[in-house]
Chains A and B, each alone.
Chain A
Amino acid sequence: MSGLHGTLRAFPTLLRVGFMDAVAYRAELLVWTLATTMPLVMLALWTTVAADGPIGRYGQPQFIAYFLATFIVRQLTGSWAFYEMNFEVRSGTLAMRLLRPVHPLWAYAAENLAALPMRFLVSLPVAAIALAWVGGRAVTHEPLLWVLFALSLLGSWLITLFVNFAVGCLSFFIESSMKLMDTWLVFFFVLSGYLIPVDLFPLGVRALVDWLPFRYQIGLPVELMTGAHGTAHALTLLGRQWMWVAIGLGTTSVLWRSGLRRFAAYGG
């Protein structure tokens, strides 16, 4: 408990230093922003396809709203902790984090959160464009659904973070965890709603997607933001999302503990 207390006390400094680190390279920030514009490409693609008539429930305005929301959700819930963990485990530099009385996973999480203001900076103009383009009807008007959206955004970030942590922990065991992350990302891009709204999948695939974690990394917050679900169904989906949060937490915890025993702290 004292560990958590100390971590919480140090958290504002972790965030402040993380923010300064995030803005140290302006060019890197620009490249990173460009690398996350895929939803805007998909927006152009799908609105062209929908020019001749709606696809499922999606006409052109719905596709615009969906993919602008996808862009925003991706900005706010992205995580890259895996790449740092993988490098630090393999090079042994994780040792420097382990020497500090703050759990390294908290430190990685703080670094992710610290980049949030920069991500807001990118997201806010897009949100403004979305409102100007498709108007207020593009988003839900139900206050409770906005609350559920906020929860789903947090859940989405946590799942993405725990996936990064869990696959990052596999670097303790195997040399090819980078390939595993790449494989995960392939499934993520296809099944999360990032490139294709999940309700456009055939029913059988949809049933599977409902029980896999990918949709809850992107699709669910976007669907709640764009008013795709009523409250009852939204709550059901939110329950499934937080089930994946719990699974992510448990898996990360087990892999971290067992992985640390294998840590070799190579190199000096």
Chain B
Amino acid sequence: MIRVRGLRKHYKVHERPPGVAAAFRSLFHREYKTVAAVDGIDFHIEPGERVGFLGPNGAGKTTTLKLLAGLLHPTSGEVSVDGHEPRRREDAYLKKIMLVLGQKQQLLWDLPPSETFALNRAVYDVPRPQFVETMRELSELLELGDLVKRPTRTLSLGERMKCELAAALVHRPKVLFLDEPTIGLDVSMQATVRGFVQRYNERYGATLILTSHYMEDVQRLCPRVIVIDKGKLVYDGALDELVTRIRPDKRIILRFSRPVDESDVASFGTIVRDADGSGANGTKPGAPAWSIALDVHMDAVNRVVTEALSRLPVRDLTVETPPLEEVMSELFARGKAK
């Protein structure tokens, strides 16, 4: 479905130091530097896959999505999406895809979303019965109700994003590029959007590429992730495998029926502390604690659990995978690459 080989996007950027003198000098002599937003990446995505693009700010995720959507022309390399070369922006291609940018909108600002839907029906040449059926379905899944009749400018961010998604799907695209679709939304709206996107993928077999700063979006939606850092691909594979590779630990949270000294559990694993050195529930370092979180190598989890239960007054115990945010921070900090 999607093939990318040696994809590069370099920008020439004018650089100017601050100050009036520098501004004046730049009238006569300008200095440019080349920024490699995307620097030679390769990947292949099968039809119907859900793939998450991860990376720090400025890593090249959104640029890659824009290259795939045909908005940007690559500096070099090959891109093919369902047999089309995106930069040509053929009508047949544009009718198969959609890019939803969480920070940009296609809804007509002064008119109700229903007018954008009607406009999209016309420009995508969607047969009227299919349009009616799609809108009925989208309204139901996204609980649009009367939102579609109110001017877009009067809608809340979450309401607008639901309508944005509906507008993006009027023509039932086969490939959906989602760039930060849940940005700024509250937790419940994030869950609604995630659930909807998953159902759309399952129902229509659409291929889906997602970028998000909310790791939960990626964890819930994308069995496969592609990690990009400084324009280069640093990981492509299953999310679980990435977590295992970077953090082969599990987090065991122990809750006690009476306070326990840290020294009694220090031998089990690494005690998790906040940035200020405090332990679980804000316990001061060295002080007896009602609960302690430990990072333990996954192979040692069974042994540690057994020993903790036999030696400590454990009231409750949970075993978790370390938060994806921490895993990603560690990946980028260490520059751990494939």
Binding site for B on A (CB under 8 A): 2-3, 6, 9-10, 12-14, 17, 20-21, 24-25, 92-93, 95-96, 98-102, 260-261, 263-265, 267-268
Q: Which residues of A contact B124 (CB under 8 A)?
A: 100-101
Find out whether the CB atom of A14 lies under 8 angstroms from the CB atom of B119. Answer: yes
A13 touches B119 (CB 8 A): yes
Report the minimal beta-carbon distance from B77 to chain A, rounded to whole angstroms: 15
Which of A14, A92, A261, A265 is packed against the most chain B CB atoms within 10 Å? A265
Partner of A100, one of B102, B103, B115, B123: B123
When the two chains form their complex, are residues A25 and B104 in contact, meaning their CB atoms are under 8 A apart?
A: no
B271 at the A interface (CB under 8 A): no
Q: Which residues of B contact A101 (CB under 8 A)?
A: 91, 94-95, 123-125
Closest 6 CB pairs of A and B: A268-B103, A13-B122, A24-B110, A101-B91, A101-B94, A10-B122
Given contacts A10-B125, A263-B72, contact A99 B110 (CB under 8 A): no
Contact B123 A264 (CB under 8 A): no
Residue B180 CB within 8 A of the other chain = yes
The answer to whether B298 has its CB under 8 Å from any CB of chain A is: no
Q: A13-B118, A13-B119, A24-B110 are in contact. Are A95 and B125 (CB under 8 A)?
A: no
Give me 5 A-to-B residue pairs in the complex whose CB atoms sit less than 8 angstroms apart, sorted by A's number.
A9-B125, A13-B121, A263-B72, A264-B72, A265-B66
Q: Which residue of B lies closest to A98 (CB)?
A: B71
* B113 contacts partner chain A, Cβ-Cβ < 8 Å: no
Contacts of A20 in B (CB 8 A): 111, 115
What A residues does B110 contact at CB under 8 A? 21, 24-25
Chain A residues with CB under 8 A of B70 = 98
Known: A17-B111, A95-B66, A268-B62. A261 touches B73 (CB 8 A): yes
Q: In chain B, what residue has the closest Cβ to A3?
A: B91
Chain A contacts of B99 at CB under 8 A? 95, 99
Task: Select from chain A the residue with minimum beta-carbon distance to B73.
Answer: A261
Most buried by B among A21, A100, A261, A264: A100
Residue of A nearest to B99 (CB): A99
> 1/0 per position for B77-99, CB-CB distance to A under 8 A?
00000000000010100110111
B281 on the A face (CB < 8 A): no
Q: Pick from B72, B95, B97, B104: contact of A96, CB below 8 A.
A: B104
Report how far A105 CA is from B109 CA in the complex, Å. 20
Main secondary structure of the interface of A (DSSP, over half): helix
B32 within 8 A of A: no
| Residue from B91, B101, B115 in contact with A2 in the complex, judged by beta carbons closer than 8 Å | B91
> Inside 8 A of A265's CB, which chain B residues have their CB?
66, 71-72
CA distance in complex: A14, B118 (Å):
10
Q: A99, B71: Cβ atoms under 8 Å?
A: yes
A13 to B123, CA, bound (A): 8
* Pairwise interchain contact B111-A24, C-beta atoms closer than 8 A: yes
> A20-B115, A101-B123, A101-B124 in contact; A268/B101 too (CB < 8 A)?
yes
- Shortest Cβ distance from A2 into B: residue: B91
| A265 to B65 alpha-carbon distance, docked (Å) | 11
Q: Which residue of B has the minimal Cβ distance to A95? A: B71
The interface residues of chain B lying within 8 Å CB-to-CB of A263 are 71-73
B105 contacts chain A at the CB level, 8 A cutoff: yes
B102 touches A268 (CB 8 A): yes
**Distance, CA A261 to CA B88, complexed state (A):** 11
**Residues on the A chain within 8 Å of B151, using CB:** 24
Contacts known (A10-B122, A265-B66); A95 close to B104, Cβ less than 8 A: yes
Q: B122–A21 contact, CB under 8 A?
A: no
CB nearest to B62 among chain A residues:
A268
Of A21, A98, A100, A260, the residue contacting B108 (CB under 8 A) is: A21
